[in-house]
Amino acid sequence: MWIYDYKNDLDNPIKEPPFVEITNLSYADNLPQWVYPFHIHDDSYEIAFIMTGSGSLLLDDLSCPMAPGSVVIIPPMRHHRFVSDSAEGMTYYSIRFRKKDDGSELQEFLKDCDVTFSGGNDPSTAIHLIDALFSIHAGNGGRSDAAFQAAALSLILTAKEMLAHADPFEDSEEHETASAIMKYIMETDGAGITLESLSKHFNISQSHISRIFNDAYHVSPINYAITARVTYATELLLKTDMTVVAIAEKMGYDNPAHFTNMFIKRIGCSPSEYRERNMRMPKEKETE
């Protein structure tokens, strides 16, 4: 796992049309051990390129199969998550960029797009462009400069070409209450969430909360909250220099050993091992 956020104008010195404002570049290589919970990107599109393994993209109660060569674009404000089909896992790269009403051809194309996917593509062009992105990132200190933007735009346009004739997901009925519960859990990063606290917050019985959440997302709200805590902890391990003890406290664990045991059970290694293993960029790992 590797993840990098482009947070400010120093990270994004070039973001006017035809270029876009890049917000995130990431690589996931250890599904199913690492599992991102259902989440949304408030104002960014995400494009994911599946490289190896197989799995699914889950949206509410919908599921779309993912395999090598699959490309998918996810617009803002859509709950989603990727899962692996087997212990071998699924690897994918993703790039996120800001949604803007700037009149550019790309943003106009994306404006009316819902979640859209295409399978069975030849990934060779995307792989070359992704390699270029990571090489530029490694050489310029993590800035979305002119060279990075040229490669990023080429990658996004390659995905656009792959998706031009794809069929969008058919939308399903809204699970408004379950979605509100999920958003609340996400906003708290899962810390301190219990069925009792959810029941009080939403003024709904604990049994009803469990039922509607399970019906919508096929997981209990408490297990989802634990997954959200672990996921947030992995991001803190990769994006900050906080100690494991400090991260445990931030996640609501008074006992760091309890947090470490929970982390090992969910991820398969200790927080310190996870940080050491995943701080290097994907191409650096391949040279070992």
Q: Is residue 152 part of a domain?
A: yes
- Determine the Cα angle at 57 with ends 148 and 266, to 5°: 90
Q: How far apart are CA 234 and CA 13, in angstroms?
A: 28
- CATH number of the domain bearing residue 248: 1.10.10.60
**Can you give the pLDDT at residue 171?**
47
Tell which of 100, 130, 163 closes a domain.
163
- Say if residue 51 is in the same domain as residue 138: yes
Q: Number of structural domains, the chain? A: 2
CA distances (Å), origin 142, targets 7, 40, 135, 215: 11, 24, 10, 42
- Say if residue 146 is in the same domain as residue 24: yes
Q: Is residue 109 part of a domain?
A: yes
Q: Is residue 287 part of a domain?
A: no
- Say if residue 154 is in the same domain as residue 21: yes
- Say if residue 184 is in the same domain as residue 154: no
**Can you give the pLDDT at residue 86?**
67
- Say if residue 200 is in the same domain as residue 86: no
- Say if residue 152 is in the same domain as residue 194: no
Q: How far apart are CA 255 and CA 268, in angstroms?
A: 19
Tell which of 128, 163, 198 closes a domain.
163
- Cβ neighbors of 176 (< 8 A, separation 6 or more) are none
Q: Is residue 28 part of a domain?
A: yes
- CATH number of the domain bearing residue 128: 2.60.120.280
Q: Is residue 207 part of a domain?
A: yes
**Can you give the pLDDT at residue 127?**
93
The reply to whether omega before 68 is within 30° of 0 (cis) is no
* Helices and strands per DSSP (H, E), number in the chain: 11, 9
Query: Tens of pLDDT along the chain (288 residues)?
Result: 888 999 888 888 998 999 999 999 999 886 555 566 778 898 999 999 999 988 888 876 567 888 899 999 999 988 888 877 766 678 899 999 999 999 999 999 898 888 888 888 898 999 999 999 999 999 998 999 999 999 999 999 999 998 877 765 554 444 578 778 887 887 776 677 889 999 999 999 999 999 888 877 777 888 888 887 888 888 899 889 999 999 999 888 889 999 999 888 888 889 999 888 887 777 665 555
- Say if residue 140 is in the same domain as residue 180: no
Angle between helices 206-217 and 195-202 (to 10 degrees): 100
If residue 169 lies in a helix (H) or strand (E), which one and from where to where? none
- Say if residue 86 is in the same domain as residue 142: yes
Spatial CA neighbour of 1 closest among 183, 271, 243, 182: 271
- Say if residue 242 is in the same domain as residue 130: no
- Say if residue 158 is in the same domain as residue 39: yes
- Say if residue 76 is in the same domain as residue 136: yes
The encoded tokens of residue 91 equal: 């690897």
The reply to whether omega before 75 is within 30° of 0 (cis) is no
Q: Is residue 288 part of a domain?
A: no
Tell which of 163, 194, 217 closes a domain.
163
Residue-number span of the structural domain to which 268 is assigned: 176-278
- Say if residue 181 is in the same domain as residue 139: no
Q: Is residue 103 part of a domain?
A: yes
CA distances (Å), origin 9, targets 14, 91, 97, 256: 8, 30, 14, 37
Q: Is residue 283 part of a domain?
A: no
Q: Is the pTM of this model over 0.85?
A: no
